[in-house]
Amino acid sequence: MTVPDPQLPQLALAEEAARWCVRLCEGEMTSSLRAQFTRWLTSDPAHRAAFDQAVEAWQEVGAAEGTSEILALRVEALESLRRAQRAGAGRQVFGIKTRWVLAASVVVALLFGIVAGRYPSSQLYSSGTGQRRNVTLADGSSMSLDASSEVLVRYSAAQRTLQLLRGRAKFQVARDPGRPFLVRAADRQVVATGTMFSVEIVQKEVQVILYQGHVSVTGPDRMPTALVAGDELIAPISLAQVHIETANVARSLSWESDQLEFVDESLASAVERVNRYARTPIAIGDAAAASERISGVFTAGDTRAFIEGITAVSALKAEEHNGQEVLWISGRATH
Amino acid sequence: MEAARKQQLDDLCRRFRPALIAYFLRRVPNPAEAEDLAHDVFLRLAGVPLDQLRSADAYIFQVAANLLRDRARRWKVRYAYAADQVAAAEVDELETHASDPERIEVARRSLATLVAQLMELPKRTREIFILYRVENVARRDIAQAYGLSLSSVEKEVARATAYLMLHREYPR
């Protein structure tokens, strides 16, 4: 004989309260359902308390919906829904409602929740390996995506929120002082009104370069750092400290013309950028190679030229391993 | 245009109806009246240019507070003596809460804890909960995509909600 779980009645109550939340969300209730709800609420003070707690839990999730942690879960959920719908489309006789049937597009992955005019609307823009994308957003702002990059865009009446999920993007912001333009990248947030700037996630750092106007960047300590045009801010993810230097504007924009330009860059960040364009990504064999500093101008997508270029002028050595080029510091490649 | 507007209103309703009812339940004696008031809030929103709202939620709870104030004033007139004290107290309470319209006390569990707890849920349960609660995807669309019944979707959402409810970190 099993001992009853003391949690069980509590669990049943919590689930019941949550189900009432769902039913209330589903629009006008029938009069018999309304009567049931009233009866349920008034029959026991514990029911009232549970209902409040269910609403609280929902509010809590709602309040966190814009954070990068919850955004990651949302992207996961929306992608799962999209997959399920694709799979289901073949299975069902009547198919799925057209508004959920989305053209598969490599360029713009239109996610859900999201169909134009809906509230809230978010859209995921992504670029594949070796592809750069220019996107004009609903407010006239434009966004230039580096290869292998992803930005989730969510516009509301109060603000324009963009989340850089990976890679790099440059933003030309349409002026709208009443509606701040927020770009989140890892734990950093860049706030702008009308301006042009780029945000990149590379090697556990967020890098922000301001080309025009003003932006302010906040991190985990919530202290804003204001940038002036020409500044490059480097913020290690999850540390409060930031470092500002003068950006080489031309060099920082070279990726938009398919050039990757490095000056005294660590191999790790150079390779991460080169790999955005590489069909077969380059690997780094050891820590010493990762921290090797390299310089040079390379054509995006020409991985071979990159490898030849850097191995010619440094102590680095390339070796093919399981079909992948691995860069080592010479002398250590004896594995 | 009208269809888009209606969709917008429905979505707001979806997002805020339970919270509004909870809000009214703290202030009016019976659930039926709380529901009616919540319904009135959405009726009032019908004439509002929603696109131009800076913050829909703050506005919705402001409308809710105004409705309660009107109601209290009506009572005051109708039951000039008997209800005076009650109504006055009610208006007072409203004034003190007006600055923070979202009267639901949101649990201060850390974001990391919230995410960790969501991650403890089965993947499908978590996804359905996020789709329903955050992305406002219709229950029917979720049901169709995953090949579930409407009540199974409801059950999954309830399961996730209950898990968060039972793992709150703060005292009550």
CATH number of A230's domain: 2.60.120.1440
Q: Which of A10, A32, A61 to mutate to test the interface with B (most CBs of B within 10 A)?
A: A61
Q: Let me know whether B17 and B88 are in one domain.
A: yes
Gap between the Cα atoms of B165 and B39, Å rounded: 26
pLDDT of residue A68: 66
Contact A119 B136 (CB under 8 A): yes
Write out pLDDT tens, residues A25-81. Answer: 887 788 899 999 999 999 999 999 999 999 999 988 988 876 767 777 887 787 788
pLDDT at B2 over 70: no
Evaluate whether residue B119 is within a structural domain. Answer: yes
B122: domain range? 111-166
pLDDT at A255 over 50: yes
pLDDT of residue B94: 47
End residue of a domain, out of B51, B67, B97: B97
pLDDT of residue A21: 93
**Chain A residues within 8 A of B2 when measuring between CB atoms:** none
Q: Let me know whether B93 and B116 are in one domain.
A: no
pLDDT of residue A312: 81
Evaluate whether residue A1 is within a structural domain. Answer: no
β-pairing verdict for A181-185 and A188-192: antiparallel
pLDDT at B165 over 90: yes
* Helical packing angle, B139-146 and A68-91, nearest 10°: 60
Evaluate whether residue A192 is within a structural domain. Answer: yes
ipTM of predicted complex = 0.81
Q: Of all residues in chain B, what percent carry a pLDDT higher than 90? A: 34
Global pTM value: 0.52
**Chain B residues within 8 A of A58 when measuring between CB atoms:** 18-19, 133, 161
Gap between the Cα atoms of B132 and B121, Å rounded: 15
A110: domain range? 68-250
Q: Let me know whether B17 and B84 are in one domain.
A: yes
**Chain A residues within 8 A of B139 when measuring between CB atoms:** 22, 26
pLDDT of residue A114: 35
List Cα–Cα distances, B53 to A17, A159, B5, B45, B48, in angstroms: 31, 11, 14, 11, 9
Evaluate whether residue B154 is within a structural domain. Answer: yes
Q: If we measure between CA atoms, which residue out of A60, A62, A51, A53 comes closest to residue A16?
A: A51
| Higher local confidence (pLDDT), A72 or B120 | B120
Q: Let me know whether A59 and A72 are in one domain.
A: no
Closest chain A residue to B14, measured at CA:
A25
Evaluate whether residue A335 is within a structural domain. Answer: no
Q: Let me know whether A209 and A86 are in one domain.
A: yes
pLDDT of residue B90: 52
pLDDT of residue B22: 92
Q: CA neighbours within 13 Å on the CB side: how many for B62?
A: 9
pLDDT of residue A5: 55
pLDDT of residue B100: 42
pLDDT at A245 over 50: yes
Q: Let me know whether A107 and A169 are in one domain.
A: yes
pLDDT of residue B43: 87
List, in sequence order, every residue forming a beta bridge with A161; answer none if it has no partner: A154, A182
Contact B32 A10 (CB under 8 A): no
Q: Let me know whether A106 and A216 are in one domain.
A: yes
The alpha carbon of residue A4 is apart from the nearest alpha carbon of chain B, in Å, by 18
- Find out whether the peptide bond into B29 is cis, omega within 30 degrees of 0: no
pLDDT band at residue A170, thresholds of 50, 70 and 90?
very high
A95 touches chain B (CB under 8 A): no
pLDDT at B3 over 80: no
pLDDT of residue B86: 52
Q: Let me know whether B116 and B73 are in one domain.
A: no
Of B131, B147, B166, the CB nearest to A81: B131
pLDDT of residue B157: 97
| Higher local confidence (pLDDT), A197 or B104 | A197
Write out pLDDT tens, residues A100-119. Answer: 333 332 223 333 333 333 33
pLDDT of residue A262: 87
pLDDT at B99 over 50: no
Q: What is the average per-residue pLDDT within A237-266?
A: 82
Q: What is the average per-residue pLDDT within A242-257?
A: 81
pLDDT of residue A254: 79
pLDDT of residue B45: 84
Evaluate whether residue B102 is within a structural domain. Answer: no
pLDDT of residue A118: 38
Give me B37's structure tokens.
């008031």
DSSP string, A193-212: SS-EEEEEEETTEEEEEEEE
Gap between the Cα atoms of A91 and A89, Å rounded: 5
3-class DSSP state for residue A133? strand
Handedness of CA A102, A108, A113, A118 (dihedral sign): negative
| Higher local confidence (pLDDT), B98 or A249 | A249
Q: Could you give the number of structural domains in chain B?
A: 2
Write out pLDDT tens, residues A299-331. Answer: 888 888 898 888 887 888 888 888 888 888 865
The whole-chain average pLDDT of chain A stands at 80
pLDDT band at residue A288, thresholds of 50, 70 and 90?
confident
- The CATH number given to whatever domain includes residue A302 is 3.55.50.30
Evaluate whether residue A283 is within a structural domain. Answer: yes
Q: Let me know whether B54 and B121 are in one domain.
A: no
Lowest pLDDT segment from A87-96, A134-143, A266-275, B157-166: A87-96
pLDDT of residue A93: 37
Gap between the Cα atoms of A228 and A213, Å rounded: 7
Q: Let me know whether A203 and A271 are in one domain.
A: no
Gap between the Cα atoms of B114 and A175, Å rounded: 36
pLDDT of residue A121: 61
pLDDT of residue B78: 59
Evaluate whether residue A267 is within a structural domain. Answer: yes
pLDDT at B17 over 70: yes
Closest chain B residue to A89, measured at CA:
B145
Q: In degrees to the nearest 10, what's the CA dihedral of B86, B88, B92, B95?
A: 120
Q: Which residues contact B131 (CB under 8 A, 6 or more apart)?
A: A77, A78, A81, A112, A113, B137, B142
Q: What is the average per-residue pLDDT within A212-232?
A: 82
Write out pLDDT tens, residues A127-164. Answer: 888 888 888 888 889 899 999 999 999 888 778 899 99
Evaluate whether residue A51 is within a structural domain. Answer: yes
pLDDT at A334 over 90: no
pLDDT at A96 over 50: no
Q: Of all residues in chain A, what percent carry a pLDDT higher than 70? A: 84
Evaluate whether residue A334 is within a structural domain. Answer: no
Contact A120 B50 (CB under 8 A): no
End residue of a domain, out of A40, A63, A86: A63
Q: Let me know whether B8 and B79 are in one domain.
A: yes
Q: Let me know whether B64 and B148 are in one domain.
A: no
List, in sequence order, every residue forming a beta bridge with B66; answer none if it has no partner: none
Q: What is the average per-residue pLDDT within B110-117?
A: 88
Contact B137 A16 (CB under 8 A): no
- The CATH number given to whatever domain includes residue B142 is 1.10.10.10
